[in-house]
Amino acid sequence: MHPQDAPPAHRTTTTERGSFCLACCDCGWSGPARRSRDRARTDAAAHAAAPAPRDGAAVRQ
């Protein structure tokens, strides 16, 4: 596989909604709302470390 053929890296952010924080990714994934910012960041790190879904696989939003 050539570097240009590699799937794009997941870029995650955390977003606050009221007293909750959730992780979001450029691929469309979003984690559950958490009261703990640290737990939302952990969700984002786990998502970024997971292998990319195969073509046709559903992305949880």
Contact (Cβ atoms closer than 8 angstroms) between residue 38 and residue 19: no
Query: Does 38 fall in a domain?
Result: yes
Instruction: Render each residue's pLDDT in the chain as its tens digit; 61 residues.
Output: 565 666 667 899 999 999 999 999 999 999 999 999 999 999 999 999 987 666 555 555 4
Q: Which domain holds residue 19?
A: 10-49
- Give the total number of structural domains in the chain: 1
Query: Does 56 fall in a domain?
Result: no
Confidence (pTM): 0.69
Query: Does 43 fall in a domain?
Result: yes
Query: Does 57 fall in a domain?
Result: no
Amino acid sitting at position 53: P
For 46, other C-beta atoms within 10 Å of its C-beta total: 12
Contact (Cβ atoms closer than 8 angstroms) between residue 44 and residue 25: yes
Q: According to the model, what pLDDT value does residue 9 have?
A: 78
- Name residue, tokens 């790190």: 45
Query: Does 55 fall in a domain?
Result: no
Query: Does 39 fall in a domain?
Result: yes
